[in-house]
Homo-oligomer: A and B are copies of this chain.
Amino acid sequence: MPSSPVMTVSELGEFGLIDAIRSVFQTNADVLVGSGDDAAQLAAAGSVLVTTDLMVDGRHFRRDWSSAADVGHKVAAANLADIAAMGGVATGLVIGLAAPGDTPVAWVEELSQGIAAEVAEVGASVVGGDMTESDTLVLAVTALGRVAGAPVLRSGARPADVVAVAGRLGWAAAGLAVLGRGFRSPRVVVEAHRRPNPPYAAGPQAQQAGATALIDVSDGLLADLGHVARASGVAIDIDSSSFELAEPLLAVGSALGVDPMEFCLTGGDDHALAATYPPGVPLPAGWRRIGVVGAGEHVTVDGAQHEGSTGHRHFG
């Protein structure tokens, strides 16, 4: 093996790389067979939730804007939030990494540490993965989880239900807007773009409280409530006066000359949760009312269709 100031994954090889990162990942009581065999085995009582997400270098993250650990937090959070958005708790993840041969081993180690730290927040474990060479760096994460009782789908919203959200909205989008203009502050929104802080516990809490529909806000609030409206066959109206715009969003809006409300309505990467609750159900802690369900099959803001983009598109 040639000596090099920066050891690359190509120099170390697949098995050396696996050895290097395996120790980063801890296992929990759900792991019956961990990584190192043809498959892992996780405890599962009755059913298992499963969701998968891809992140592509230069599209979902930029290595000059986010550290490897940031990227690890972000890709894990996207999957863990999807499990929470069923009312579930993640138990295990498998990670696929396709990376150029000149990717530094240290970058992969830091990525793994970021994933491990985010996964530890919900008590889950990384139980396996696959690594291979690719001109484009692509991360593929699949999360498994459990749910106590029936999962909360997108299709259960009913007219007169209350619409509520948990977690931050617009912070990551404001951070991305700042980075896109070459700035690095306000630091809190840049950090929110780099490492989302999804309200994981709010998912199971909504499920226990009787939420009728639940979704992860990954494409933007209006776009994702649109998914709920279509799946449930209902209309959703958002009350813009219910949004308390945080000071950093006001500051970014003012600095960039944009309406900060746009960040809240169309920004995705915070992985907030949105839910509908039957009228009269007390909202669990951390949930705030933002609108109401009616008849129809569309999403409005203060009774009117929203002008402009509603969120992120993955192709085109």
Contacts and interface: CB of A to CB of B under 8 A. Distances in A.
B38 A129 contact: no
B142 A315 contact: no
B50 A140 contact: no
Contacts of A88: 39
What is the oligomeric copy number? 2
A153 B88 CA distance: 29
A37 B52 CA distance: 12
Interface in A43-96: 43-56, 59-60, 82-83, 85-86, 88, 92, 94-96
A303 interface: no
Contacts of A147: 41
A83 B37 CA distance: 10
Given A38-B85, A41-B48, A41-B86, A53 B92 contact: no
Tell me if A's interface is mostly helix, strand, loop or mixed: strand
Interface in A135-190: 135-136, 138, 140, 142-145, 147, 151, 153-155
B315 A144 contact: no
Nearest to A45: B46
Interface in A12-34: 12-14, 17, 32-33
A120 interface: no
A131 interface: yes
